[in-house]
């Protein structure tokens, strides 16, 4: 009797919860399906359709300003923006390289170019840069100039660490703030413009042995996203760009691959994300790598030794 009663009671409970559980499961499956479809459509919009038509002098302004413009990603930005019809202001340390890149762009793309020689490791250069930019309708600013460690190293073992800190902060952080200060007011006045701040995937989480570099790139990321929240309503696009490795002198990668693209390939992809993503990896394989590495990084942070091995594998710098 007791066993039969318990069996009947169990069946009654099951029948009572069967329908609610079914609908809970169905709603959960529907929600997950909708989220998946939304992500696929968003990915298609960003990585396939893109937003390249936004970047034109008619929509943003005649001139594009690029810092660190004579090599690597900076040079690729200058060339790609020139192909889109922008007149180009090149800012970098070597006047000889500036002249070479300026002549090549003017000859190849048929646009106006202007050079400003400036060493971003110094802090007394911005009045000169401001003078060079006076009177120009600036539609795009690419804050690209940057430096990293010569090789992964513990903080106190970095050669000439006191000078290294000042130099890296001036190049990676101060330049972004000061160049934005110079260019943003006229963009706000015209209610249009785009500022692309080149951070790094290493700024998306702590990177031991590249600690100062990683922290400086985290600053650029947070600065960009905070500033976008402040000025989005005024018609300004401010984007944080966080690439993984690109085949440049800075990364010490000589040969481009699918996951380590050439600067030209990376920049062509990244410019299609402007106006679509406030924070972007800029390149589909890098976006996929971020999804994977964020999980691995969380696991690696379970203990300190794992972090070191994770970083050495991630950086692939010997």
C-alpha 116/C-alpha 131 separation (Å) is 10
Burial string for 284-304 (b: 16+ CB within 10 Å, else e) reads: ebbbebbeebeeebeebeeee
- The phi and psi torsions of 178 (rounded to 5 degrees) equal -70, -40
What is d(CA 295, CA 134) in angstroms, rounded to the nearest whole number? 47
Phi, psi of 149 (to 5 degrees): -70, 150
Contacts of 22 (CB under 8 A, 6+ apart): none
Residue 213 catalytic? yes
Q: Residue 9, class by beta-carbon neighbours within 10 Å (0-12 exposed, 13-18 middle, 19+ buried)?
A: exposed
For the record, the structure tokens of 22 come out as: 């079914």
**Cβ–Cβ < 8 Å for 217, 203:** yes
Is residue 144 within 8 A of residue 99, CB to CB? The reply is no
- Per the residue annotation, which of 213, 231, 266, 283 is the catalytic one? 213
61: Cβ contacts below 8 Å, ≥ 6 apart: 137, 138, 139, 140, 187, 190, 192, 193
User: What distances in angstroms separate CA 94 from CA 47, 90, 121, one per listed residue?
Assistant: 35, 11, 13
Token readout for 284 is 């589909």
Positions marked catalytic: 213
């Amino acid at each position: 009797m007791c066993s039969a009663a318990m069996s009947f009671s169990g069946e009654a409970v099951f029948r009572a919860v069967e329908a609610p559980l079914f609908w809970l499961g169905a709603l959960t499956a529907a929600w997950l399906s909708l989220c998946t479809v939304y992500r696929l459509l968003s990915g298609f919009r960003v990585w396939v359709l893109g937003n390249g038509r936004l970047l034109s002098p008619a929509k943003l302004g005649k001139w594009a300003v690029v810092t660190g413009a004579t090599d690597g990603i900076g040079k690729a930005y200058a060339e790609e923006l020139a192909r889109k019809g922008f007149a180009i202001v090149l800012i970098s340390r070597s006047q000889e390289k500036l002249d070479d890149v300026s002549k090549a762009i003017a000859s190849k793309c048929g646009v106006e170019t202007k050079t400003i020689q400036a060493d971003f490791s110094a802090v007394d250069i911005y009045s000169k840069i401001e003078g060079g930019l006076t009177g120009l309708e600036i539609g795009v600013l690419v804050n690209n100039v940057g430096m990293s460690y010569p090789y992964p190293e513990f903080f106190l073992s970095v050669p000439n660490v006191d000078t290294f800190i000042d130099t890296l902060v001036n190049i990676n952080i101060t330049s972004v703030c000061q160049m934005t200060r110079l260019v943003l007011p006229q963009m706000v006045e015209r209610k249009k413009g785009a500022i692309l701040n080149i951070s790094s995937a290493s700024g998306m989480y702590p990177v031991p042995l590249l600690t100062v570099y990683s922290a400086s790139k985290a600053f650029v990321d947070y600065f960009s996203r905070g500033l976008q929240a402040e000025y989005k309503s005024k018609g300004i696009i401010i984007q944080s760009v966080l690439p993984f490795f690109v085949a440049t002198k800075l990364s010490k990668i000589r040969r481009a691959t699918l996951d380590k693209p050439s600067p030209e390939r990376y920049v062509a992809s990244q410019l299609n994300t402007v106006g679509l993503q406030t924070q972007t990896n800029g390149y589909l394989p890098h976006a996929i790598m971020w999804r994977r590495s964020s999980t691995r990084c969380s696991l690696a942070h379970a203990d300190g030794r794992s972090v070191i091995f994770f970083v050495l594998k991630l950086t692939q710098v010997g």
